[in-house]
Amino acid sequence: MPSKAEHVSDEKIARAIRENGLEGRRLYLPQMPYGGTYLLAAAIRSIGFDAWPVSDSDARTLELGGRMTSGDECYPQKIVLGDLLRIIEDEGRDRVAYLMPSANGPCRFGQYLHLIRTKLDELGYGDVPVISITSNDGYASIGDYSMDLVRTAWRAVLAQDILMKLLLKTRPYEREKGSTDRAYLQSLEEVGEAVSRQRVSHKERLEAILAALVRARDRFRALPADYDASRPLIGVVGEIFCRHNTFSNFDLIRVVEEQGGECWLSDIGEWVWYTDDEQRRRLTEQGRRFGKDNTVRYIKSVIMRRDEHALYGPFGEDFVGYEEPHDVREVLELSKPYLPYTGALGEMVLSSGKSIYMYEKGADGIIDISPFTCMNGIVTEAVYPKLSRDLDDMPIRVFYFDGTQGDLERDVGIFIELARTYQRRKKKVRRYPACFGG
Ligand code: SF4
């Protein structure tokens, strides 16, 4: 028999499900990347919602998304909408709901939610719920457990970033093709189980996630691999959806690996820290530095930092040479001479700052992944020639994506050759973890 507390919890969860129109429905999330969404969905399941990532995108995604968009929308919008329509067709309109993050800001992302709702209504799917999660309402749409969810979701983001790092630093060197992907998927499953546990304290959840991550670390360490320091390290920056959604970028990272490179992908945690810092900066500018909002933000950031240290703790040796900045302000300050963060906003600032950061760490080239027509890629492309000159002519290139692609292998192959040339004459020394045998 459930305890009184559990009974009350069940009541609250049932009410939140009812109020959001989710009874009998599964809540789907866009892939960004698959592993990150898998763990974020696990975090949402921890508070009682039946949440999962959408299945892998395919040609129908583009066809359905294309049918309902005019071309003015950005490419991620087409994929997100196409996947939702595909899921509705496959699973049935009565069994599906969609979770779409939202935000205010200068880019088209803030319009996604409204566009999706409008298009669904036009198609007669007015009954399919589209739930938004936004910090603007304190995440009120997800009910009484919003703050619990925010903390669990942050741990899911950290775990995703750690597993992604392990995957990308190991896969190019694996002896048995496919072994790293298998280790990654098994690790995702185990970490997901720890993230999704219901009715556990934050401390118990942290311990369970940490234990699953340590098992993942040991699994990756044990994979037979031939590490080779001559393989160029390519930093990957750019628009957050497109750089993480492997369907939208034709799995560019895998292409880089096949062409002889290794990738260091800018992580999701960076974006979370950036939004936190933006909030701090704006409150300070408004003279509210010592007000309640900034105090709450500060306390939250201290807790976030504590979780980050706890989860990254066991990976010190593994991530030698791949260390993330201690504070996102490091990246913002690096970007300042090119794109001052007080004027320019969003990924363009992070992409230029992170390119410099990765250069300092000994990267051999930078790839910026951008949806075609996205202002982030357009602005950074204008800045990169000067940036490259200032960074000893390190190769930097924007790859645009819109669902059609020329010869990606050829273009990446040429880029890797440029990176190899730079690698031979670069001034920055790259540090390697012990697995490279140095
Ligand atoms: S960053 Fe660019 S591609 Fe992404 S949502 Fe904004 S406008 Fe669209």
User: Mean pLDDT per 10-residue run, the chain (438 residues)?
Assistant: 54 81 93 95 93 96 92 90 96 94 71 89 95 61 72 97 98 98 98 96 97 98 98 97 96 98 97 94 94 94 97 98 97 97 92 98 98 93 98 98 91 98 97 91
Determine the residue of 100, 108, 114 to mutate for testing ligand 1's pocket, defined as the one with the most ligand atoms within 8 A of the Cβ atom: 108
C-alpha of residue 114 to centroid of ligand 1, in Å: 15
CB atoms within 10 A of CB 139: 17
Determine the residue of 241, 244, 348, 349 to mutate for testing ligand 1's pocket, defined as the one with the most ligand atoms within 8 A of the Cβ atom: 241
Extract the tokens encoding 289. 């530095």
Domain boundaries, the chain: 4-137, 228-267+324-436
**Which residue ranges have their beta carbon within 6 Å of ligand 1?**
74, 76, 107-109, 239, 241, 371, 374-376
Strands 96-101 and 365-371, by their bridges, are unpaired
C-alpha of residue 107 to centroid of ligand 1, in Å: 6
Rg (CA), the chain: 22
C-alpha of residue 253 to centroid of ligand 1, in Å: 20
**Closest ligand 1 atom, residue 377 Cα:** 2
Max Cα-Cα span within the chain: 69
Determine the residue of 374, 375, 380, 401 to mutate for testing ligand 1's pocket, defined as the one with the most ligand atoms within 8 A of the Cβ atom: 374
Query: Residues 6 or more apart from 14 whose CB is under 8 A from it?
Result: none
Q: Are 130 and 97 in contact (CB under 8 A)?
A: yes
C-alpha of residue 248 to centroid of ligand 1, in Å: 13
Distance CA 246, CA 162 (A): 18
**Closest ligand 1 atom, residue 375 Cα:** 2
List the alpha helices (DSSP H) in 197-323. Answer: 202-221, 240-244, 252-258, 268-285, 292-312
Q: Which residue has the tokens 């969860």?
A: 13
Q: Which residue has the tokens 């994506």?
A: 401
CA distances from 56 to 86, 96, 255, 421, 428 (A): 10, 16, 18, 37, 39
Q: Which residue has the tokens 């230029």?
A: 352
Instruction: Report the pLDDT value the prediction gives residue 72, as an integer from 0 to 100.
Output: 83
Q: Are 49 and 17 in contact (CB under 8 A)?
A: yes
Instruction: Report the pLDDT value the prediction gives residue 106, as an integer from 0 to 100.
Output: 64
C-alpha of residue 150 to centroid of ligand 1, in Å: 24
Q: Are 31 and 184 in contact (CB under 8 A)?
A: no
Instruction: Report the pLDDT value the prediction gives residue 1, as an integer from 0 to 100.
Output: 47
C-alpha of residue 282 to centroid of ligand 1, in Å: 22
Determine the residue of 80, 102, 109 to mutate for testing ligand 1's pocket, defined as the one with the most ligand atoms within 8 A of the Cβ atom: 109
**Closest ligand 1 atom, residue 346 Cα:** 1
Instruction: Report the pLDDT value the prediction gives residue 88, as an integer from 0 to 100.
Output: 97
Task: Classify 26 as helix, strand or coil.
Answer: strand
C-alpha of residue 72 to centroid of ligand 1, in Å: 12
Residue whose CA lies nearest to ligand 1 atom number 2: 374
CATH code for 228-267+324-436?
Answer: 3.40.50
Q: Are 180 and 223 in contact (CB under 8 A)?
A: yes
Tell me whether domains 4-137 and 228-267+324-436 share a fold.
yes
Determine the residue of 107, 373, 381 to mutate for testing ligand 1's pocket, defined as the one with the most ligand atoms within 8 A of the Cβ atom: 107
C-alpha of residue 100 to centroid of ligand 1, in Å: 14
Query: Residues 6 or more apart from 59 whose CB is under 8 A from it?
Result: none
C-alpha of residue 159 to centroid of ligand 1, in Å: 25
Distance CA 82, CA 129 (A): 16
Distance CA 126, CA 93 (A): 10
As beta bridge partners, residue 237 has: 368
Query: Residues 6 or more apart from 199 whose CB is under 8 A from it?
Result: 6, 9
C-alpha of residue 272 to centroid of ligand 1, in Å: 16
The correct CATH number of 4-137 out of 3.30.43, 2.30.30, 3.40.50, 3.30.2420 is 3.40.50
Residue whose CA lies nearest to ligand 1 atom number 5: 109
Query: Residues 6 or more apart from 37 whose CB is under 8 A from it?
Result: 29, 30, 31, 53, 54
